[in-house]
Amino acid sequence: IHNEVFEDAAHASKLVAHEIADLIKQKQGMGEQCVLGLATGSSPIKVYEELVNMHKEGLLSFRNVVTFNLDEYYPMQPENRQSYYHFMHQHLFDHVDINPENINIPDGEVPVEELHQYCIDYEMKIKHCGGLDLQLLGIGRTGHIGFNEPGSHYNSGTRIITLDHITRVDAASDFNGIENVPKKAITMGISTIMKAKRIIMLAWGHKKSDIIKETIEGEITSEVPATYLQRHKNTVVILDNEAASELT
Ligand code: F6R
C-alpha cells in the first residue's frame, strides 16, 4: 500500500476529486463510460463537494459516469434520512448531470427471500459494466471497508452481513440511539472491491490512527479486512496528520 499524508483533509480531498475528474474526462475523450465505486460517511464528503463545484463551474460532466455504491443498511427505505440513498443524492447526485439510470445503490428494501439473487445480480452488473475503474473507500474503526466487518473472507462478494457492535455504536448518533441502528447491511464483498483497477482510501482524524496503523503496517488478516488492501497493486491511502500519527 502506498500512503500519502496531508496537512488538512480539505486540500487532500481536492486532489482526490481532481484525480476522479481526470479519469472521467479521459474516459470521455475515448468515448467510454467511467465506472466509479462510491462510499458514504463523513470521509468522502469534501471530495463530493469538490466534484459538485467542478460541475457547477462547467468543468466536469457526469454524462458518461456509472456508479456503484458500496453498501446500504438493511432494512432501509431510500426516502429515510439515514439511508445511503439519501446521502448520495444529497451530497452528489442531485447536483450533477449523471443519468439516474446509471446510479446503483444496494436496495435496502429487497424482500428477504430475494436478497441472495439480488446480491448476485449487483455483482454481475458491475462485471457487465467492465468492472470498477476506481473505488473510493473510507475505513471503519473495526477495519471494515464497505461493510465487510472482521471475519470477512477474501473471496467474499456482494452479500448481506451483520454489522459489528462498534460500527453500530459509531452510527448511533446518526440514528438517535444505537437501538435504531439497523443490525444488517448489504455490502459489496472484499473480492468485489479488490477487482477495482484503482482504489483510493480516505481516513481523517485521530480516531482512525490505530486502525490505519494496523491496515498499513499489520499482518494481513480477516480480523482487519482493510489489511487485504496490501495485496492490491494500485491502492493509495490518503491521510491527514492525525490519522497518520501512529505510523512508524
Ligand atoms: C460507507 C462505508 C463505510 C465507511 C466507514 C467510515 O459507505 O462503506 O466503510 O466508509 O464506516 O465512515 P466515516 O467516513 O463516516 O468515518
This model's pTM is above 0.95 = yes
Instruction: Indicate whether residue 189 lines ligand 1 (CB < 6 A).
Output: no
**CATH classification at residue 81:** 3.40.50.1360
How confident is the model at residue 65, as a pLDDT? 98
The alpha carbon of 71 and the centre of ligand 1 are apart by a number of angstroms equal to 9
> Does residue 245 lie in a domain region?
no
**Domains of the chain: total:** 1
Span 126-139, average pLDDT? 98
> Does residue 244 lie in a domain region?
no
Catalytic residue among 50, 55, 71, 242: 71
Instruction: Indicate whether residue 159 lines ligand 1 (CB < 6 A).
Output: no
Edge-to-edge strand order for the sheet containing 159-162? Answer: 71-74, 184-187, 159-162
Q: Measure Cα distances from 178 to 46, 48, 68, 74, 164 in Å.
A: 26, 27, 27, 15, 12
The answer to whether ipTM exceeds 0.85 is yes
Domain membership of residue 161 as a residue range: 2-238
Per the structure block, which three cell numbers stand in for 31? 468515448
CA distance 109 to 106: 9
> Does residue 146 lie in a domain region?
yes
Instruction: Indicate whether residue 71 lines ligand 1 (CB < 6 A).
Output: yes
> Does residue 247 lie in a domain region?
no
> Does residue 29 lie in a domain region?
yes
> Does residue 196 lie in a domain region?
yes
> Does residue 116 lie in a domain region?
yes
Contact 72, 186 (CB under 8 A): yes
237: Cβ–Cβ under 8 A, 6 or more apart, which residues?
1, 2, 3, 4, 201, 203, 212, 215, 216, 229
Select from 247, 243, 244, 246 the least CA-distant residue to 207. 243
Query: Which one of 86, 88, 144, 204 would you pick to mutate in the ligand 1 pocket, going by the greatest count of ligand atoms within 8 A of its CB?
Result: 144
Q: Measure Cα distances from 10 to 6, 15, 109 in Å.
A: 9, 9, 35
Query: Which one of 13, 16, 38, 70 would you pick to mutate in the ligand 1 pocket, going by the greatest count of ligand atoms within 8 A of its CB?
Result: 70
CA distance 191 to 79: 30
Per the structure block, which three cell numbers stand in for 123? 455483482
Mean pLDDT of the chain: 98
pLDDT tens readout for residues 180-224:
999 999 999 999 999 999 999 999 999 999 999 999 999 999 999
> Does residue 58 lie in a domain region?
yes
Can you give the length of the chain in residues? 248
Contact 18, 25 (CB under 8 A): no
Kindly report the protein residue whose alpha carbon is nearest to atom 9 of ligand 1.
146
How confident is the model at residue 78, as a pLDDT? 98
pLDDT tens readout for residues 45-77:
999 999 999 999 999 999 999 999 999 999 999
pLDDT tens readout for residues 139-149:
999 999 999 99
Q: What is the C-alpha R_g of the chain? A: 17
